[in-house]
Amino acid sequence: MIGQLRSVVIDCPDPRGLAGFYAELLGLPLIEDNSDGDDWVVLGGPPGHLPRLAFQKAPDLRAPDWPDPERPQQFHIDVTVDDIEAAEKAALALGARRLPGEGDGFRVYADPAGHPFCLCWD
């Protein structure tokens, strides 16, 4: 095991509105301490407390139209790791590739099929 699932992140034009829908649908609480205004909204708990869904603002989102391959499903996974350097090395060895983009506490990668995911540390 390289890490633990941190979050499933869903891009959407209205993170707070969509989070409200899933909060009701799944009975998960809104976690304001882990949210960032209306641009990043988290349900379920702090990192390490699963399940956890996050909603990320994407104002120009081209919504999926499943099963149309021209408009596929859209999400990414956040994985919490203890040691980012060791985790990156292991993920790359499994076939991941580094993508542009990183911030305080995360780096972005693509899985072997091209789906993005983040390795995160606190």
At 36, list the tokens. Answer: 């960032």
Query: Residue 78's closest CA among 62, 58, 55?
Result: 55
**Model pTM score:** 0.78
Query: Among all chains, which residue has been given the structure tokens 């580094």?
Result: 98
Condensed to tens digits (0 to 9), the pLDDT of residues 10-43 reads: 999 999 999 999 999 888 899 988 889 999 999 9
Higher pLDDT: 46 or 9? It is: 9
| pLDDT band, very low/low/confident/very high, at 58 (cuts 50, 70, 90) | very high
* pLDDT the model gives residue 74: 77
Q: Is the pLDDT of residue 46 over 80?
A: no
Query: Residue 16's closest CA among 50, 41, 49?
Result: 41
Strands, E, within the chain: which ranges? 4-12, 40-43, 53-57, 76-80, 97-103, 106-110, 116-120
CB under 8 Å to 120, separation ≥6 — which residues?
6, 47, 78, 79, 80, 81, 105, 106
Across 21-30, 56-65, 88-97, the highest mean pLDDT is recorded for 88-97
Q: Is the pLDDT of residue 65 over 90?
A: no
Residue 44 and residue 50: Cα distance in Å, rounded?
7
Query: For the chain, how many residues are written?
Result: 122
